[in-house]
Amino acid sequence: MRGKEILASVVSSQDHVHSCYGGIVPELASRHHMENILAIIDQTLAQAQVQLDQLDGVAVTCGPGLVGSLLVGVSVAKALAMAKNLPLIGVNHLEGHLLAVLLEQEVAFPFLCLLVSGGHTSLYLAHDWGEYQRLGATRDDAAGEAFDKGAKMLGLGYPGGRVIDRLAQQGDALAVRFPRAHLKTGKYDFSFSGLKTALRQFLSTPERGGYRDEDIVASYQEAIVDMLVANVLRAADDLKTERIVISGGVSANSRLRQRMTEAGLQNDIHVFLPSLRLCTDNAAMIAFAGSWRLASGQRASLQLNASATLPL
Ligand code: KG4
Ligand code: ZN
What are the φ and ψ backbone dihedral angles of 148, each rounded to 5 degrees? Answer: -65, -40
Lowest mean per-residue pLDDT among 7-16, 72-81, 83-92, 126-135: 7-16
Instruction: Report which ligand 1 atom has the smallest distance to the Cα of 120.
Output: 7
Q: Is the pLDDT of residue 1 over 80?
A: no
Can you tell me the distance from the alpha carbon of 229 to that of 188, in angstroms, rounded to the nearest whole number?
11
Can you tell me the distance from the alpha carbon of 132 to that of 134, in angstroms, rounded to the nearest whole number?
6
Cβ(96) to ligand 1 under 6 A?
no
Q: What integer pLDDT is reported at residue 182 of this predicted model?
A: 85
Residue 22 pLDDT level (bands cut at 50, 70, 90): confident
What are the pLDDT digits (tens) for 140-157?
999 999 999 999 999 998
User: What percent of the chain lies above the pLDDT cut of 90?
Assistant: 91
Q: Is the pLDDT of residue 120 over 90?
A: yes
Q: What integer pLDDT is reported at residue 3 of this predicted model?
A: 59
Instruction: Report which ligand 1 atom has the smallest distance to the Cα of 142.
Output: 12
Q: How far is the centre of ligand 1, averaged over its atoms, from the C-alpha of 120 (Å)?
A: 10
H or E element, residue 113 = strand 111-116
Q: Which of 91, 147, 153 to mutate to test the pocket of ligand 1 (most atoms within 8 A of CB)?
A: 147
Q: What integer pLDDT is reported at residue 229 of this predicted model?
A: 98
Lowest mean per-residue pLDDT among 1-10, 20-29, 42-51, 84-93: 1-10
Radius of gyration (C-alpha) of the chain in whole angstroms: 20
Cβ(160) to ligand 1 under 6 A?
yes
State how far the alpha carbon of 247 is from the alpha carbons of 6, 102, 174, 205, in Å: 18, 11, 26, 36
Q: What integer pLDDT is reported at residue 157 of this predicted model?
A: 87
Cβ(161) to ligand 1 under 6 A?
yes
Cβ(23) to ligand 1 under 6 A?
no
Q: Is the pLDDT of residue 2 over 60?
A: no
What are the pLDDT digits (tens) for 249-302?
999 999 999 999 999 999 999 999 999 999 999 999 999 999 999 999 999 999
The closest alpha carbon to 116, from 172, 41, 54, 192, belongs to 192
Mean pLDDT, the chain, rounded, equals 96
